[in-house]
Amino acid sequence: MSAIRFLLVVALGASVHGAINVPKPRQLPPDFDPSTLPTYNGTGPTMLRFGCNQLSIDRIDPLVNPGAVPSTHQHQIVGGDAFDASMPLSDIAALSQCTTCSYSADFSNYWTSNLYFRARNGSYKRVPQFPGRFQPFFGNNTFASTINGGMLVYYVSPGQNQLTSFAPGFRMFFGDASLRAPPDEPPHWQQNLSTQTCFRCYNAPDFGGDDFRPCLDPRVDTMHLPTGPCYGIRSNVLFPTCWDGVTLDTADHKSHVAYPVEGPHIFDGIGTAEVCPPSHPVKIPQVMLEINWDTTAFNNPEDWPEDGSQPFVLSTGDGTGYSQHADYVFGWRGDSLKVGMEAGCAGADCPGMATQGMGPADGCAVGELAGESYDGSNAHR
Ligand SMILES: *[C@@H]1O[C@H](CO)[C@@H](O)[C@H](O)[C@H]1NC(C)=O
Ligand SMILES: *[C@@H]1O[C@H](CO)[C@@H](O)[C@H](O)[C@H]1NC(C)=O
Ligand SMILES: *[C@@H]1O[C@H](CO)[C@@H](O)[C@H](O)[C@H]1NC(C)=O
Ligand SMILES: *[C@@H]1O[C@H](CO)[C@@H](O)[C@H](O)[C@H]1NC(C)=O
């Protein structure tokens, strides 16, 4: 698309406010001062940041609809190849042969909804994903910036000996697939939902506008899907950082974890919970997922809805974006995550942690179970 055409599209988008609810105002990002960037030099906080290729795209969900083929909606999944329509509450690292993540001891599974474009004529097309931004200060992130589909995964620890790692069999769910508006009276754990799920609308090519921490920059971040065209849309989801310390899973996949009552409930790359609620006293690493959707092929204003609303739809059937959600099944081999969280390093080449190249990761896949088209018109659910 030419620059002039994109400007027209942006102008159109900026004048448009469809039926989408505007979220409550939230804190402004701190002024960016590079000298405040933490150093990850072995003594302090750890921020793992690594890429995971697509493992599969399928209409199954072992947490929310165990055993159901197909499940209620489509997902895109990364991680170990033990992923299945139902998964045992056990050590899935032991059941996996390979992983799509660059840290080769991480057989966890991470999955989210897919994003679709709904054209004016009613046809649907799955929005492809593009790799993560190359961040030179996070070591060798060649893998993260060349992934094929998939997502970036972050794990944050505020410092040595300050966290308990997850236990084999642990799993959790973030979000609410039925949400279509900001919750009026959110349960306690959701009070800061806008800092825990957001869409970043890149405002220029090459990750334009990606200047601040995720979900904290009102210039580019919204809880709802962006209302105008973007140079790609980024999804971020932040899981809770407090655990009851015992329960591997609950019926809602949420009650055994909680957000802190004090301390960062946001992503700041150096801190996690300072004070966990008494019901959930155990501090766990902060897990954040990041997915880049390449919407640039879908910015033709002639294909957008005539009423001026935006055309993107999550695979939940949600055109607002509030149903953004994610699932996590812990699957690091042995104590490899704990080793990583204590290492005080950043990125994807942390001492003591084994990595693999793109070759083996690309060769790791799980066959599709639901066996339905996920790219075309009849894929959307
Ligand atoms: C590591 O970084 C911390 C600040 O995060 C600093 O106080 C300390 O001196 C650094 N240590 C080394 C060995 O560079
Ligand atoms: C609907 O519109 C899309 C986008 O312009 C186009 O690619 C597709 O071929 C159209 N489908 C039909 C059935 O006309
Ligand atoms: C939610 O975020 C706001 C703004 O950062 C903060 O003032 C408030 O204490 C947070 N609430 C909870 C329950 O953490
Ligand atoms: C950086 O990572 C890539 C992919 O994981 C790998 O192929 C390459 O050898 C690494 N480069 C260095 C200098 O370690």
Mutate to test the pocket of ligand 2, among 121, 124, 300 (most ligand atoms within 8 A of CB): 121
Sheet containing 257-258: order of strands: 257-258, 242-243, 282-283
Decide whether any atom of ligand 3 lies within 6 Å of the 108 Cβ. no
Q: What's the average model confidence in pLDDT over 289-314?
A: 95
- What confidence tier does 24 reach under pLDDT thresholds 50, 70, 90? very low
Judge contact between 153 and 48, C-beta under 8 A: yes
For ligand 2, what atom is nearest to the CA of residue 122?
1
Pocket-forming residues, ligand 4, beta carbon under 6 Å: 102, 140, 142-143, 357-358
Lateral strand order in the sheet of 75-79: 54-58, 75-79, 109-113, 325-329, 171-175
Mean pLDDT of the 27-44 span: 62
Q: Distance between CA atoms of 291 and 276, rounded to whole angstroms?
A: 28
pLDDT above 70: residue 236: yes
**Is residue 146 scored above 50 in pLDDT?**
yes
Across 123-148, average pLDDT: 91
Averaged pLDDT for residues 101-123: 95
Residue 381: pLDDT band by 50, 70, 90 thresholds?
very low
Q: β-strands 124-126, 115-118: how paired?
A: antiparallel
Question: Distances from the Cα of 178 to the Cαs of 196, 324, 336, in angstroms?
Answer: 17, 9, 35
pLDDT(367) > 80: yes
Closest ligand to the CA of 357: 4
Give the pLDDT confidence score for residue 274 in this predicted structure.
85
Between 137 and 328, where is the model more confident? Answer: 328
CA distance linking residue 62 with residue 86, whole number of Å: 4
Ligand 2 atom 9 nearest Cα: 123
What are the beta bridge partners of residue 329? 109, 171
- Asked which of 30-39, 55-64, 273-282 is least confident by mean pLDDT, the reply is 30-39
Band of the pLDDT at 187, cuts 50, 70, 90?
Answer: low
Q: Which residue has the higher pLDDT, 91 or 192?
A: 91
pTM of the shown model = 0.88
Query: What DSSP string describes 71-123?
Result: -SS-EEEEEBTT--SS--SS-GGGG-S-BSBSBTTB--EEEEE-EEEE-TTS-
**pLDDT band (50, 70, 90) for residue 186:** low
What is the Cα–Cα distance from 137 to 375, expressed in whole angstroms?
36
pLDDT recorded at residue 212: 85
Q: How far is the CA of 120 from the centre of ligand 2 (A)?
A: 8
